[in-house]
Chain A
Amino acid sequence: MPKAILYDSTLCIGCRACEGACAERWGLPYNDKIANEERISAHKLTTIEVHGDKFVRRLCMNCLQPACVSVCPVGALEKTALGPVTYDSEKCMGCRYCMQACPFQVPSYEWSSRLPRMRKCDMCYDRQSHGKPTACAEACPVGATKNGDRDALVAEARQRIAERPDQYYHRVYGLSEAGGTSVLYLSAVPFEQIGFRTNVPEEPLPMLTWRVLELLPDVVSTGSVLLGGIWWITNRRAEVAKNDGRRR
Chain B
Amino acid sequence: MTLRMPKITVWRAIFAAIMLSGLYATYLRIFYGLGGSTNLSDRFPWGIWIGFDILCGVGLAAGGFTLVAIVHIFAVERYKPILRPAILTAFLGYTLVVVGLLFDLGRPERLWHPLVMWNPHSVMFEVAWCVTLYSTVLFLEFLPVVFEKFGWHRPMEWIHRISVPLMIVGVLLSTLHQSSLGTLFLIVPEKLYPLWYSPLLPLLFYISAIGVGLAMTIFESWHSSRAFGRALELPLLASMARVLAVLMSVYLWIRVLDMTHRQVWGLLARNRIETWLFALEIALMVIPTILLYRAPIRLNPHSLYFCSVMIVLGFVANRLNVGITGLEAGSGTHYIPKWSEVAVTLAICAAGFAVFRIVGQYFPIFETHSPEGPEQIGAAGNLPASSLAVDVPATMP
Contact = CB atoms under 8 A, between A and B. Distances in A.
B33 A113 contact: yes
B168 A73 contact: no
Given A95-B124, A210-B121, 11 more contacts: A93-B113, A95-B106, A96-B46, A100-B327, A109-B40, A216-B176, A227-B69, A227-B172, A230-B74, A234-B75, A235-B395
23 contacts: A71-B122, A93-B113, A94-B105, A94-B108, A94-B110, A95-B124, A101-B187, A109-B40, A112-B32, A199-B190, A205-B189, A206-B121, A208-B189, A212-B123, A212-B183, A212-B202, A213-B183, A216-B176, A224-B172, A227-B168, A230-B74, A234-B73, A237-B75
A227 B171 contact: yes
Interface in A177-223: 197, 199-201, 205-206, 208-210, 212-213, 216, 219-220, 223
A201 B385 CA distance: 59
A195 to B, nearest CB: 10
B121 A70 contact: yes
Interface string B52-93: 000000000000000001001111000000000000000000
Contacts of B189: 201, 205, 208
Given A74-B117, A111-B33, A219-B175, A209 B392 contact: no
B239 to A, nearest CB: 18
A72 interface: yes
Contact of A100 (B46, B105, B172): B46
A213 B172 contact: no
Contacts of A39: 42
A7 B175 CA distance: 46
B126 interface: yes
A209 B123 contact: yes
A58 B45 CA distance: 19
Interface in B127-186: 127-128, 164, 167-168, 171-172, 175-176, 179-180, 183-184, 186
A200 B175 CA distance: 30
Contacts of B302: none
Contact of A224 (B107, B108, B168): B168
A34 B382 CA distance: 75
B235 interface: no
Contact of B72 (A40, A107, A111, A231): A231
Q: Shortest 8 CB-CB distances between A and B: which pairs? A: A94-B106, A111-B35, A234-B75, A93-B110, A73-B124, A112-B35, A99-B45, A73-B125
B119 A72 contact: yes
Main secondary structure of the interface of B (DSSP, over half): helix
A200 B107 CA distance: 30
Interface string B30-56: 111111100011110110000000000
A81 interface: no
B11 interface: no
A109 B175 contact: no
B42 A41 contact: yes
Interface residues of A, number: 59
B188 interface: yes
A216 B129 CA distance: 13
Nearest to B119: A75
A220 B34 contact: no
A115 interface: yes
Interface string A107-130: 111011111110000000000000
A227 B43 CA distance: 43
B231 interface: no
Interface string A220-245: 10011001101100110111000000
Contacts of B126: 213, 216
A105 B42 contact: yes
A91 interface: yes
A92 B107 contact: yes
A72 B113 CA distance: 11
